[in-house]
Amino acid sequence: MTSVLSFPRRPEPFYLDVLLADGRLGGHTFEVDESRRIVDLMNSKDEVVLLSDAMFRDWSGAVLAEAAEWVIEKGAVVAVIPKETEEQKRHLRLERVGMARPTMARIEVAAVLGRFILHGTTYVPPSASLLRAHSDVFNRFFPLVDAQVLVPAGGRIEAEIVVVNRDLIGAIARLDTAQAAPAWQTKPPATGVKEATLESLVARIESEARAQAVDSKPAKQRGRRKRA
């Protein structure tokens, strides 16, 4: 009788883009798999994250340093952006990043973290009457979906998911449709003057045209008398 030994499968390398105050570290972690989400990794008791074969770039994109392994202090992390391969996307869908339970309320927010501005959709407890960067509302690291990140150099990063460090939030706002609308889409303040409808505008134009036609007749008749 033969026996077959089965060994646990080594997790696939998972690429993370870690945003820090002065640049970004891009590299691989082996600590994310089907049983451990990115928010599980970032909210664990360990105060460091290990990245393998990672490069540090400043906000202009220049590579300043690279190493086989970086040890990153979680307290210094502004946000983490996962970059899944197509195979990983089939196994690690949005719920693997720690999306909310059905009891959570879906809201759109903007947040300021130092020189960074983040915008996206997240989930909060329905009982959260005051939106603030507090443990009653958000985990230490929480996900933003369909996110945009404005970085210090003026660039913009768009990502399906961004995991944000709650402790670095200096200001946060809930955005509704009116607040989120661009300035050119908002209506001007009321002036107290009733806006003319299309019908009244057409009627006024026709009335002015008739008045001009009546006024022009005496002038033409006087012109004929002088020539006579």
- Choose between 89 and 43: higher pLDDT: 43
Separation CA 179–CA 97 (nearest Å): 28
Indicate if the pLDDT at residue 47 is higher than 50: yes
Indicate if the pLDDT at residue 58 is higher than 70: yes
The model's confidence at residue 207, banded by pLDDT at 50, 70 and 90, is low
The model's confidence at residue 173, banded by pLDDT at 50, 70 and 90, is very high
Q: Residue 183: what pLDDT?
A: 40
Question: Could you give the C-alpha distances from 83 to 18, 28, 61, 110, 207, in angstroms and in order?
Answer: 11, 10, 17, 22, 66
Q: How far is CA 147 from the centre of its chain?
A: 3
Q: Residue 190: what pLDDT?
A: 46
- CATH number, domain containing residue 170: 2.30.30.100
> Which domain range does residue 41 map to?
14-91+99-180
For residue 213, tell me if it sits in a domain: no
For residue 196, tell me if it sits in a domain: no
For residue 18, tell me if it sits in a domain: yes
pTM of the model: 0.68
Main-chain dihedrals φ then ψ at residue 33, nearest 5 degrees: -155, -165
pLDDT digits (tens, 9 = 90+) for 106-136: 999 999 999 999 999 999 988 877 899 999 9
For residue 194, tell me if it sits in a domain: no
Indicate if the pLDDT at residue 19 is higher than 50: yes
Across the chain, how many H-helices and E-strands are there?
4, 10
Number of structural domains (the chain) is 1
The model's confidence at residue 184, banded by pLDDT at 50, 70 and 90, is very low
Q: Where are the alpha helices (DSSP H) in 9-128?
A: 38-42, 86-91
What whole-number percentage of the chain has pLDDT above 70?
A: 63
- Mean pLDDT across 82-100: 56
- Choose between 196 and 42: higher pLDDT: 42
Q: Residue 109: what pLDDT?
A: 95
The model's confidence at residue 154, banded by pLDDT at 50, 70 and 90, is confident
For residue 193, tell me if it sits in a domain: no
For residue 142, tell me if it sits in a domain: yes
Q: Residue 203: what pLDDT?
A: 55
What's the longest Cα–Cα distance across the chain? 132
Q: Within 10 Å of residue 221's Cβ, how many Cβ atoms?
A: 9
For residue 115, tell me if it sits in a domain: yes
For residue 143, tell me if it sits in a domain: yes
